[in-house]
Amino acid sequence: MDSWEDPERVGLFAGLLRLIWKQPTPVAIPSDWNTPDLSVSSFELLPTPDSDSTITDVTDETTEVVPLRIENSKGIPYFLADWNQHLAEGNYGLVYSCHDSFGQEFILKALKNKRTPEEIVADWQNERELLFALSHPNIVRIFDAFVFENYHYFVMEKADGDLRGYLSFHKKLDPPQVVDIGLQLLSGLAHIHSQNIIHRDLHKDNILYFENSGKKLVVKIADFGISKQLSSEEDFAKSIVGRDWDYSPELVTKKVASKKSDLYQLGLILYYCLTGEAAISSFDGECEQVTTSGLARERANQIGTPLALVIGKLLHLEPEKRYDDCFKAGAALRDSLSTLDWFTQNQ
């Protein structure tokens, strides 16, 4: 028999052609099948249908989904395990784990198609431009941004998790670690502010952590979806965006946000790191009233430690009474550690 009449060789050749041309949408297959390895070292390719329809074996309810293939404008593919298994979800996007043809893992953010096309394109372009313009050890790195089949994507470095997940496991952190996290975030935030950008959406879900092979925890600022680059004449952003319990008081009362609004949100994050609890929440009453009551600062000051007093100043109701910038806030955080031993010994 001629070698090309061998059914196994014919099946392999056909599978290779399908992989080169385009991988179809996810195909549900019985769980006792072997999920194909889509790396470049694989030679056992699962035959796939010619149509774009999803095929399910109705005789067996237990199914798995073949990794989904999407590609950027240059035809470079990324693979997802399952559309239904996202890592996180925000108001405007879903976050997935993905990998390339070589097994390198990434985070994939897909914008939801729940707004007008003009709004989605504008937000995607804004975030893409900001992420590619910002390069800093404490800002998440972006590797790719593209549109595929009417969805807008970002491909970014993969983290070990977000700060919310880290704190849900560790509860509260020791003051030296809180200071270290604060200094890293201030370093990234200072770079953001140096580009005349306000983040406007700093909270535990948008801080990613990297455990760095046993070395100190590294944290990075992510999600610039509602960030605003100010013009040279602007000091404020004049729109209400973000999560209501993360609003700064001036956003509630004056409908404006500034770089000092980012410092307020950092104060909320550090308070949670130190205590394991939110500075303010729905248990305290109505959001706008609680945010503008000064309760967050009051609770930080009641702790009374040097670090808590620094956090309290970040949480001041009046922006002009917070630290002038990230550098002065960082100096205060470092000083809080130098006085920690004295404070502990004299309690």
Among 100, 201, 246, 262, the one annotated catalytic: 201
Burial of 173 (0-12, 13-18, 19+ CB in 10 A): buried
Phi and psi, residue 145, nearest 5°:
-150, 130
Cα separation, 120 vs 151, in Å, equals 9
**Strand 77-80 to strand 68-71: parallel, antiparallel, or no bridges (unpaired)?**
antiparallel
Q: Could you give the C-alpha distances from 156 to 22, 99, 109, 112, 202, in angstroms and in order?
A: 23, 11, 8, 17, 18
Residue length of the chain: 347
N- to C-terminal Cα separation, the chain: 90
- DSSP state for residue 319 in the 8-state scheme: G
Q: Show Cβ contacts of residue 191 under 8 Å, excluding neighbours closer than 6 positions.
A: 134, 136, 138, 139
**Strand 151-157 to strand 88-89: parallel, antiparallel, or no bridges (unpaired)?**
unpaired
Cα separation, 276 vs 336, in Å, equals 19
212, 209, 80: which is closest to 148 by C-alpha? 80
- DSSP state for residue 257 in the 8-state scheme: B
**Is 201 an active-site residue?**
yes
Q: Show Cβ contacts of residue 119 under 8 Å, excluding neighbours closer than 6 positions.
A: none
- Give the residue numbers annotated as catalytic, written as ranges: 201
